[in-house]
Amino acid sequence: MMKINKKKRAICFDVGGVLVELGPPISSWLAPLDKSKLEKLLNSYSLGELAPELFFAELKKISGHPDNSIPIEKWFVERRLISPFSGASAMLSKLLEAGIEVFLFSNTNETHWDFIRTFSFAYDHAFLSFMMKKKKPDPDSFKEVERVTGLAGKEIIFFDDSTTNVLIANSCGWSAHLVTGESPINDISEILRLNYQIEIH
């Protein structure tokens, strides 16, 4: 059972580090020959500027990943995306069942998103950097969420694991909260209960 304050609002979630547990940064296990090139490549892929085939071809060129090991495409997903945090899927479903709009807002790429979709998260709309062609903390990405949803300011409750993203969201007038650590779903539930009278049972 969920008790909610009926005031119109939506809850917007970052995905990695908030709903899904992340593994180590890609650069720490691909041993790139040029870290700056890797970062540029990852950024381009997360903005939807490269097709997966081209991305992985370029990734192989600049990484220390041996050809005879686990396929780099498999590593790219399974070493970075561990699993949903305990309670994440149930929380999203309960929020929707209570009539609260739920959005995902993530800097991600096509390959990672295809894997995240297998978790069967419930939500109304997903704002994904590789589809939007813009990413957090660019203020335009936050404005895109407002434009599509028709919501703004305190109507949007936002959870992210990046201090910078939370600061930008707050500067846009959103009710933004930083969540980090091993049990973000518990922290989110407590914030919703204490600040917004939204209780998840």
Residue type at position 201: H
pLDDT at residue 180 is higher than 60: yes
Share of the chain above pLDDT 70, in %: 94
178: left (phi over 0), alpha (psi -120 to 50) or beta: beta
Residue-wise pLDDT for 108-140, tens only, equals 999 999 999 999 999 999 999 999 999 999 999
Is the pLDDT higher at 201 or at 44? 44
Residue 147 burial (CB < 10 Å; 0-12/13-18/19+)? Answer: exposed
pLDDT at 32: 66
pTM: 0.93
Domains of the chain, CATH where assigned: 2-22+82-200 (3.40.50.1000), 26-78 (no CATH)
Residue-wise pLDDT for 13-53, tens only, equals 999 999 999 998 887 777 767 888 889 999 999 999 999 99
Roughly how many angstroms between the first and final C-alpha of the chain, as a whole number?
A: 5
pLDDT at 61: 86
pLDDT at 158: 99
pLDDT at residue 5 is higher than 70: no
